[in-house]
Structure 1
Amino acid sequence: MQVKESEQWGAETPDSGVPTGVAVFPGSKTVRAIAEKRTTVVHWSEFDRGGHFVPMETPDLVLGDLRDFFGTLR
């Protein structure tokens, strides 16, 4: 039996109710599968650059996105 990676991480668990922000960078297919199962996604960003080490490769994108997300929670 083949198990999807998102199922292995518990993506099928009930929603926690915690506001969630998602940043999708090129090649991030797993995070999309997990995030789309959530009902409390309040912030979604997609970027055309960045890689596996996003904070190191594109700190400007990460910092800007974190500020946008947390700014809405004040």
Structure 2
Amino acid sequence: MEKFRAWSDCGGDVESVFSKDELLTDITLYWLTNSIATSTRLYYETMHTEGMLGRFVPGYVGTPTGFASFAKDNFTPPEEWVRRCYRLTRFTEFDRGGHFAALERPHELVTEIREFFRPLRA
């Protein structure tokens, strides 16, 4: 629950963004599948990589890439950093939303994903 409160755009009121059913479902899935450790591995490895930019340097990725930046996410690299590492074709900043954007702002995220892929259809 602490992560939902701290990492979302809820202003300290978790239930203003998430229903109790959503919270309990999500937490239960991690608990029953014993998968919380694997879900946090990326964060651990990122925090133990030297240099902030080094965290985002997988080598250059030439595949068209989109980046959705939600206002209250934990950390969003500057667009310039993303451009150095990826063939960035779309970088969108949102005024609302946090780390759990798919749960917090599903309509905005789905619209953004559709807009990203639309020019790639042909």
Which residue in the other structure is 1:32 paired with?
78
Q: Rg bigger for which structure?
A: 2
Which residue in the other structure is 1:60 paired with?
107
Normalised by the length of structure 1, the TM-score is 0.76
Higher helix share: 2
- Are 2:70 and 1:42 equivalent residues in the alignment? no
Rate the CA distance shift 1:44–1:8 in 2: closer, same or farther, 3 A: closer
- Are 2:64 and 1:19 equivalent residues in the alignment? yes
Q: CA deviation at 1:12?
A: 5.8
In structure 2, the gaps of 5 or more residues are 1-48
Q: CA deviation at 1:27?
A: 3.9
- The question of whether the paired residues in 2 share the 8 Å contact of 1:26 and 1:47 is answered with yes
Which residue in the other structure is 2:38 paired with?
none
Normalised by the length of structure 2, the TM-score is 0.49
In structure 1, the gaps of 5 or more residues are none
Q: CA deviation at 1:56?
A: 0.4
Please give the alpha-carbon distance, in whole angstroms, between the structure 2 residues aligned to 1:7 and 1:68. 29
